[in-house]
């Protein structure tokens, strides 16, 4: 297979990426205490926290890199690894647990070889386990790309995931 690189396009992507990161970080200038919000914005943009961006945040906002990393790794909402095209979040809150939520995680492990926090090799799915989505009446709950699926059993999970390529 011949690989050709469209350099102007790559350059444009890199530039727009840099611009976006810079303007996001700059919008928090002087608000060091809003580090968590900034990291949330960055993650919403790139679906993970790229390492070079964390370094940039540290430099631009004058926050020790150790603190940026400690926050980025302390909170469950953040991930330092790129995530797949579709994020499958399985709720493991108590209500979902007693109704069999754990089996959905096991099914993902069996069918796709991923544990919570991991991504399939083809970047199709990232599996997340969450402690409660606050949708307890409809458990077990699975959220795929922000869309809530209620009363999910292994069979239904199969059907739902087929729609995400």
Partner 1 sequence: MVEQVRKLLEKRVESAAELDNLRQSILGKRDTSRTCISVCGGTACRASGAEAVVDAFIDEIERRELQVQVELKETGCHGFCERGPLVVIEPRKIFYQRVTPEDVGEIIGETIVAGRVVERLLYADPVTGQKVTYEPDVPFYKKQTRNIFGANGAIDPTNIEDYIASGGYSALSKVLTGMKPREIIEEVKKSGLRGRGGGGFPTGRKWQSCLEAEADIKYVICNADEGDPGAYQDRSLLEGNPHSVLEGMVIGAYAIGSNRGYIYVRNEYPLAVKHARIAIEQAMDYGLLGENILGSGFDFTVTINKGGGAFVCGESSALMASLEGKIGEPKAKYIHMSEKGLWDSPSLLNNVKTWANVPLIINKGADWYSKIGTAGSKGTMIFSLVGNINNTGLVEVPMGITLREMIFDIGGGIPNGKKFKAVQTGGPSGGCIPEQYLDTPVDFDELTKLGSMMGSGGMIVMDEDTCMVDVAKYFIEFLKGESCGKCTPCREGINRMSEILNAITQGKGKPEDLETLEDLAGILSAGALCALGQTAANPVMSTLKYFRDEYITHIEQKKCPAGVCRELIQYSIDPEQCVGCLRCLRSCPTGAITGEKREPHTLNQGLCIKCGACYDVCKFNAVIRQ
Binding site for partner 1 (CB under 8 A): 32-37, 39-40, 67, 70-71, 74-78, 92-95, 97-99, 103, 106-107, 110-111, 130-139, 141, 146, 148-150, 153-155
Closest listed residue to residue 105, CA positions, set 138, 145, 152? 152
Q: In whole angstroms, how close is the CB of 14 to partner 1 at the nearest point?
A: 29
Token code pair at residue 66: 């150790």
Measured from the CB atom, the residue of 17 and 78 that comes closer to partner 1 is: 78
- Nearest approach in angstroms of CB 19 to partner 1 is 25
- Measured from the CB atom, the residue of 19 and 106 that comes closer to partner 1 is 106
CA 12 distance to own-chain centroid: 25
Of 12 and 113, the one with the shorter C-beta distance to partner 1 is 113
Q: Please report how close the Cβ of residue 102 comes to partner 1 at its closest, in angstroms.
A: 9
Cα(61)–Cα(57) distance, rounded to whole angstroms?
A: 6
Which of 8/146 has CB closer to partner 1? 146
Q: Using alpha carbons, list the distances in angstroms from residue 120 to 39, 60, 82, 150.
A: 24, 34, 11, 24
Q: DSSP E strands: which ranges in 61-138?
A: 86-91, 125-130
Q: Residue 128 pairs with which residues in a beta bridge? A: 89
Query: Could you tell me how far CA 157 lies from the centroid of its own chain?
Result: 20
In the complex, minimum distance from the CB of residue 15 to partner 1, in angstroms, rounded to a whole number: 29
């Amino acid at each position: 297979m011949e690989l050709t690189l469209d350099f102007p396009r790559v350059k444009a992507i890199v530039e727009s990426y840099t611009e976006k990161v810079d303007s996001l970080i700059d919008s928090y200038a002087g608000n060091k205490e809003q580090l968590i919000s900034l990291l949330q914005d960055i993650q919403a943009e790139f679906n993970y926290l790229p390492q070079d961006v964390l370094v940039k945040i540290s430099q631009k906002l004058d926050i020790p890199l150790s603190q940026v990393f400690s926050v980025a790794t302390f909170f469950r909402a953040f991930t330092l690894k790129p995530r797949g095209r579709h994020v499958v979040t399985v709720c493991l809150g108590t209500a979902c647990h007693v109704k069999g939520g754990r089996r959905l995680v096991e099914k993902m492990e069996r069918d796709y070889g991923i544990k919570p926090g991991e991504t399939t090799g083809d970047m199709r799915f990232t599996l997340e386990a969450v402690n409660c989505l606050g949708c307890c009446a409809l458990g077990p709950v699975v959220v795929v790309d922000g869309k809530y699926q209620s009363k999910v059993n292994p069979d239904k999970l199969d059907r739902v995931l087929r729609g995400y390529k």
